[in-house]
Amino acid sequence: MFSGAGATVISFSVRKTILRVVDQAAELAQVTLAPERAGLVSVVESRQLAFDLEQRPVAKPTAANVDLLIKATLDTHEPELELPAVRVSGRMRRTLGSYMPSRKQIAISSRLLAMGEDDDIRQVVLHEVAHAIVHARWGSKPSAHGREFRLVCNEIGAKPRRYVDVATAQWGSQVRYLSKCGHCNVLIVRKRRVNSVRCICGLKLYPKSWRAVAPAERGTDGDWVML
Ligand SMILES: [Zn+2]
Ligand SMILES: [Zn+2]
């Protein structure tokens, strides 16, 4: 029954919806239920954790499309310039992209890659490519977003501005935190980095670290993408 590709897609989207609902139910239960009703809490929790048994894959964000966009842009506008592969950074918060002249390297925020709109990613990448081209043509003399920068932006189709406007307000609600039970290796997913969590194997865990992840909906390999 689930052998066809269509069936797989349907079951995936249903699973996601259920996962969200269960996620929210567990969240609500944890917040609103008094400790004496802990029995009910553990029922809700085990429902969510049972879902995690499916072990949605966790993948590193890939920037292959970004590298392709950069290469295509350079091939047309600055064919002599070669840049190393884009660095995907999980540490960038306010900055969505950067260009480091000493390494000729463009870095892109993993959050932008995982949760940004395609056009936002494109604009940020082209903005950084413009910096790279300015550096290749004029060295470090021109001011960062000066005349030369605007010239190159117009040439490659980037907005000739200091900033790229990206709506990031809703990204936070998509982020989840993931830990692994050291006993049974089940992945545990929560909306917050809680201090303790009980696994379906019965073990109470006090995770030292939670890994921030986002749902992979951009054609990446895993169901979760690391941030
Ligand atoms: Zn800039
Ligand atoms: Zn376990």
Q: Are residues 77 and 148 in the same domain?
A: yes
Angle between helices 38-52 and 5-32 (to 10 degrees): 160
pLDDT higher for 34 or 160?
160
Is residue 108 in some structural domain?
yes
CA distance 133 to 107: 15
191 CA distance to ligand 2 centroid (A)? 19
Compute the distance between CA of residue 219 and CA of residue 60 in angstroms, rounded to an integer.
Answer: 13
Give bridge partners of residue 105 from the DSSP assignment.
Answer: 100
Q: For position 222, what pLDDT does the model report?
A: 59
**Which one of the ligands is nearest to 152 CA?**
1
Q: Are residues 95 and 51 in the same domain?
A: no
pLDDT at site 81: 97
| Ligand nearest to C-alpha 202 | 2
Q: Nearest bound ligand to CA 131?
A: 1
Q: How far apart are CA 71 and CA 65, in angstroms?
A: 10
List, for residues 132-173, the tens digit of each pLDDT value.
999 999 999 999 999 999 999 999 999 999 989 898 888 888
**Ligand 2: centre distance to CA 219 (Å):** 30
> Residue 19: beta bridge partners?
none
What residues make up the domain containing 70?
64-156
Q: How far is the CA of 49 from the centre of ligand 2 (A)?
A: 9
If phi > 0 it is left, if psi is from -120 to 50 it is alpha, else beta; for residue 121 that is alpha
Same domain for 50 and 85, yes or no, is no
- Residue 169 included in any domain: no
Is 186 part of a structural domain of the chain? yes
CATH number of the domain enclosing 78: 3.30.2010.10
Residue 170 domain-assigned (yes or no)? no
- Tally of domains in the chain: 2
Residue-wise pLDDT for 94-144, tens only, equals: 789 999 999 999 999 999 998 999 999 999 999 999 999 999 999 999 999
| Single-letter code of the amino acid located at 157 | G
Q: In 10 A of CB 137, how many CB atoms?
A: 14
Tell me the whole-structure pTM to 2 decimals.
0.70
Specify whether 136 is located in the same domain as 86: yes
Among the bound ligands, name the one nearest to the CA of residue 99. Answer: 1
Q: Which two tokens stand for residue 18?
A: 């259920």
Give the distance (Å) from ligand 1 centre to CA of residue 128.
6
Determine, yes or no, domain membership for 122: yes
Domain boundary among 156, 187, 208: 156
- Cα separation, 113 vs 97, in Å, equals 10
